[in-house]
Amino acid sequence: MKREWTVDAGDDLIPVVALCLRDETGRILAQRRPPDRSFAGFWEFPGGKVQPGESRRAALEREIREELGIRIEG
């Protein structure tokens, strides 16, 4: 199933961050969206919206901590 989305120039853009985690064997961590959310059942990388006044790095650290319970180092 192939779907395409486009963004109109007039649309408001929402800054987001996401992280692609890969283990030593090359497996990639992805999560499936819950059935009660938009794009239910789609696969996604952990991440989320950048809050006003928040750096992208801080947003990524917060989202990964919230969604996976782990801290990013380095």
Burial (Cβ within 10 Å: 0-12, 13-18, ≥19) of residue 47 = middle
Which CATH number applies to 16-68: 3.40.630.40, 1.10.1740.10, 3.40.50.2300, 3.90.79.10? Answer: 3.90.79.10
Q: Which residue has the higher pLDDT, 12 or 38?
A: 38
| Domains of the chain, residue spans | 16-68
Q: pLDDT tens digits for 23-59?
A: 999 999 999 999 999 999 999 999 999 999 999 999 9
pLDDT confidence of residue 7: 65
